[in-house]
Amino acid sequence: MANALDPHAAVVTEAGGLDQRGTLKTADGQPLSRALARSSRKARRRAFMLVLPLLLFILITFVLPIGQMLQRSVKNDGFSANMPQLSAWFAEHPRGTDPNDAAWAALAADLTASAEARTIGVVGTRINYDMPGTRSLFTSAGRQARRGVEPPYRDAILEMDQKWGDPKLWSVMREASSPYTSNFYLAAVDRTRDDSGNIVQAPEQQRVYLMLFLRTLWLSLVITFTTFLLGFPIAHLLATLPTRKSNLLMILVLLPFWTSLLVRTTAWMVLLQQQGVVNDILVWLGVIGNSGRLQMIFNQTGTIIAMTHILLPFMILPLYSVMRTINPSYVRAARSLGATSWTAFRRIYFPQTLPGLGAGALLVFILAVGYYITPALVGGSSGQLISNMIAMHMTQTLNWSMAAALAAILLGGVLILYWVYDRLVGIDNLKLG
């Protein structure tokens, strides 16, 4: 391995020499491999120090919050932390045990303690997630318990409200006595647990999430396709026009890109509403009657139009940068060899744009899946996406665990699609610019 003809080896040999076993050494007698490792380690450490701020930034602002959020989707200790005695009773007695005197005493003690500590609202909120209408059961029982509960506890508590005897309530409390639960994920796919804890479909009028997941997926695909249809010719034009003209066109593409999202969304509202500009022009031209104004916004159409426009630059820019690098002589060569213009496009030009198309499609699709503000404003009732439900659980019902479960499923779905894309097209074939 140490070849005398190798110039590097020669230098080292002169300086440090070879030992008996033939290992290379540096001038101060250390094995070369160790010295090399040390110096490259130093360089690596320096490089690492350079990226450390970014790593920390990503860790603190991205990984930790998302991790915490995902944890919320399986962990909610609102009940178990504030009702310790009853939780202990559930742990000791298997499912199916009817609540005995000890259970009622534990319930009374926990209710009193929790009401004193003013955490009864947290307990009620946790149970209310799985059994609507029970939050006030806990808060009012807490108020009464603060005035004192006398044994026999069973009768005293049932006197507060007959609902305390409901087996479903006890089943739900048993579920909640462990801080970890899969119920939020079940609810996020329109499933629930019946009185004996089996997983069943949610009542029909409450099923909404699966349908919204599918709709989000479908609309995102439609939007990706329309951005492709509209963006491909524009990108081609940009890439083939003389620089001066294409720069001007580029500004037209970028100008909306730089405009606030809200401004663009509201602009579409002004244009598309029934008393809006487009309808006014159509009526004025006599295409439609005044009573037959088109409903183009506050429905799915509105969501598709506005989101296609907003996401268009994300398709055009990667396509453009790839098309710029395509050598026009290939197509010319194909044509001179007798290909029709369609064949030349299909077999020569289009395949070369695939890396840009893949990048653009992936960008648009992933952005569309998580879009929130545009569907909220122009989507009406039929153009809502799953992100609108996540927002609702974050801000209105304050059920952050549910929001986290929905978000985690969305994230998982996107990752799976990303993986499928990698298998089909290959991530190496992605070109962003």
Partner 1 sequence: MKKTLILTSALCGLAFGAHAQEVNVVSWGGAYEKSQVEAYNKPFSEQTGTKVNMIAADDPATPLKAQFEAKNVTGDVFDVAMADAIRMCDEGALVEIDPAALPAGADGVAAAEDFVPGSLSDCAVGNIVWGTVIGYDKTKFPDAAPTTVADFFDTAKFPGKRGLPKSPKRTLYLALIADGVAADEVYDMLGTPEGVDRAFKKLDTIKKDVVWWEAGAQPMQLLADGEVSMTTVYNGRLFDAIVAEGKPFDTIWDGQYLEINAFVIPKDAPHPEAAMEYVKVATGTQPLADQAKWISYGPARKSSAPQVGMYNDGKTEMGPFMPTNPDHLKTAVYDDPEFWADHSAELAEQFNSWLAAS
- Chain contacts with partner 1 (rule: CB under 8 A): 117-122, 124-125, 128-129, 132-136, 139, 142, 205-208, 211-212, 215, 273-276, 298, 376-377, 380-382, 384, 389, 392-393, 396-397, 399, 402
Q: What is the DSSP string of 92-134?
A: HS-TTPPP-HHHHHHHHHHHHHHHHTT-HHHHHHHHHHHSTT-
Residue 138 beta carbon to partner 1: minimum distance, rounded to whole angstroms: 9
User: Shortest gap between Cβ of 402 and partner 1 (angstroms)?
Assistant: 8
Minimum CB–partner distance for residue 82 and partner 1 (Å): 10
Residue 200 or 252: the one with the smaller Cβ distance to partner 1 is 200
Which tokens go with 243?
A: 């620089």
In the complex, least distance from residue 309 CB atom to partner 1, rounded to whole angstroms: 20
Whole-number minimum distance, CB 156 to partner 1, in Å?
21
Q: Tell me the closest approach of the beta carbon of residue 382 to partner 1, in angstroms.
A: 5
Distance (Å, rounded) from C-alpha 226 to C-alpha 92?
A: 59
Q: Which is nearer to partner 1, 115 or 408 (CB)?
A: 115
- For partner 1, which is the closer residue by CB, 369 or 389? 389
Q: Which is nearer to partner 1, 9 or 160 (CB)?
A: 160
Count helices and strands in the chain by DSSP H and E runs: 21, 2
If we measure between CA atoms, which residue out of 305, 325, 313, 309 comes closest to residue 251? 313
Give the number of other Cβ atoms within 10 Å of residue 20's Cβ.
5
Q: How far is the CB of 223 from partner 1 (least distance, A)?
A: 18
Minimum Å distance from CB 192 to partner 1? 11
Convert 17-63 into a string of H (helix), E (strand) and C (coil): CECCCCCEECCCCCEHHHHHHHHHHHHHHHHHHHHHHHHHHHHHHHH
Using the minimum distance from each CB to partner 1, give the nearer residue, 227 or 273.
Answer: 273
Closer of 31 and 276 to partner 1 (Cβ) = 276
In sequence order, the 6+-apart residues with CB closer than 8 A to the CB of 404 are 69, 70, 71, 72, 73, 184
The total of other beta-carbon atoms located within 10 Å of residue 300's CB is 19
- In 3D space, the residue among 142, 109, 108 whose CA is nearest the CA of residue 125 turns out to be 142
Rounded Cα distance between 120 and 126, Å, is 10
The set of residues, in sequence order, having a beta carbon less than 8 Å from that of 364 and lying 6+ positions away, is 223, 224, 227, 311, 314, 315
Nearer to partner 1 (CB atom), residue 124 or residue 313:
124
**Closest to partner 1 by CB, 23 or 266:** 266
